[in-house]
Structure 1
């Protein structure tokens, strides 16, 4: 399993584990790489908003939301 898949699995198992970074958006960091998975917890599912490289400017992902 790669680092991103592992992080998604961890999010599914315990979505409230990671801290909020913006409103209701949470970020889970991958173990081996400098990537973060940004997601929200919806009523019936977990919505992944972005897989971001952590060395980029914080908040750049907000303009990508549709």
Structure 2
């Protein structure tokens, strides 16, 4: 299973969050880390804690945030 696409910007827009700075303040995840999560290789290193924070704040499911290729 591989990551096909990361929908962070789409989920962020649906949640009404305009900037990475705003998302960073809400989640406690650094802006740099959020920017790195847009890269499929770097997203693989996401912690469960950060994944849950993102899904909670963005009001989405994991499969909304990440598309997998089987």
Normalised-by-shorter TM-score class: under 0.3
Which protein has the bigger strand share?
1
Q: With structure 1 as the length reference, what TM-score do the two structures score?
A: 0.28
Higher relative contact order (CA 8 A, sep 6+): 2
Which protein has the bigger helix share?
2
Q: With structure 2 as the length reference, what TM-score do the two structures score?
A: 0.27
